[in-house]
Amino acid sequence: MITVQLLGGACLRSGDVPLAGPPAQRHRIALLTLIVAAWPRPLSRDRAMALLWPERDVVHARRLLNLAVHVLRSTLGEAAIISTGDGLVLDASRVSCDLHHFNAALAQGDHDRAAWLYTGPLLDGFHLGDAREFTYWLEDHRRDVAHAYVSALLAIADRQQRSGDLFGRVGTCRKLVAADPYSTGHVLTLVQALNAMGDHVGARHYAIEHARRLRADLDIDADPEIVHQLTDILARQADVARRITIALETPPPGRGVQAPPTDYGDLSIAGSAKAT
């Protein structure tokens, strides 16, 4: 079975070997993406032609579409793409495609599998310079898939919080921040998760870096809630430092406070102090 990767890039593989040549041609990868994204509904041939060959007349566009379908069937298997009237539909049992598995996992509420399957944006780095309508379609679907991934992560983080899985929640929140580093909500969730785990230094780092990123890249100030969280973190760190200092300065029960050595360069002074 041919493996089709559409998340995090675009690649067809036979086993571990990437396939090049006619089936990997950009318009054919784009057509396959449209067919997979439309599943379980058929993709209208007219819509495919309008998206992929908008500058061609109907006769030439249909000829290019038929050729693309022929090449894909030759690679994936004749029954992998089924003709239904004037539409094209994927036989998901004959093609292993990460986008299809991702959508199926979401439909089944399997957030862990969906998050694992998402390896990057839909057709990351892919474009068709002569098909503006496809570019618009891709941008919309890329955004939808990314939002679905974030929703899966939020569901996982919520479950981990309810179950008390602090370490797992921190890892999930880091993925949320990586997915959208400009989201104050994601950063706050991570800061709170790190605080709950006792990693106040890490929480402070992410809060400060978020504020710096917003200022440097977007020329906006951090949300007041981030400032509040950072202030709280600093206060906790100061309190921890104060408690440590008090603990170090308080002698054990039943023992007096010993005078510190007067000269740390002269070990004999320190020794004589202990001896007395």
What per-residue confidence (pLDDT) applies to 250?
65
What per-residue confidence (pLDDT) applies to 239?
61
pTM (2 d.p.): 0.79
What per-residue confidence (pLDDT) applies to 188?
87
DSSP output for the chain: -EEEE-BTB-EEEETTEEP-SGGGSHHHHHHHHHHHHHTTSPEEHHHHHHHH-TTS-HHHHHHHHHHHHHHHHHHH-TTTEEEETTEEEE-TTS-EEHHHHHHHHHHTT-HHHHHHH--SSBTTT---TT-HHHHHHHHHHHHHHHHHHHHHHHHHHHHHHHHT-HHHHHHHHHHHHHH-TT-HHHHHHHHHHHHHHT-HHHHHHHHHHHHHHIIIII--PPPHHHHHHHHHHHHHHHHHHHHHHHHHHSPPTT-PPPPPPS-TT-HHHHHHHHH-
What per-residue confidence (pLDDT) applies to 256?
52
The domains of the chain, with CATH numbers, are: 2-117 (1.10.10.10), 164-249 (1.25.40.10)
What per-residue confidence (pLDDT) applies to 222?
73
What per-residue confidence (pLDDT) applies to 260?
47
What per-residue confidence (pLDDT) applies to 245?
62
What per-residue confidence (pLDDT) applies to 244?
57
Residues of the chain with pLDDT under 50: 257, 259-276
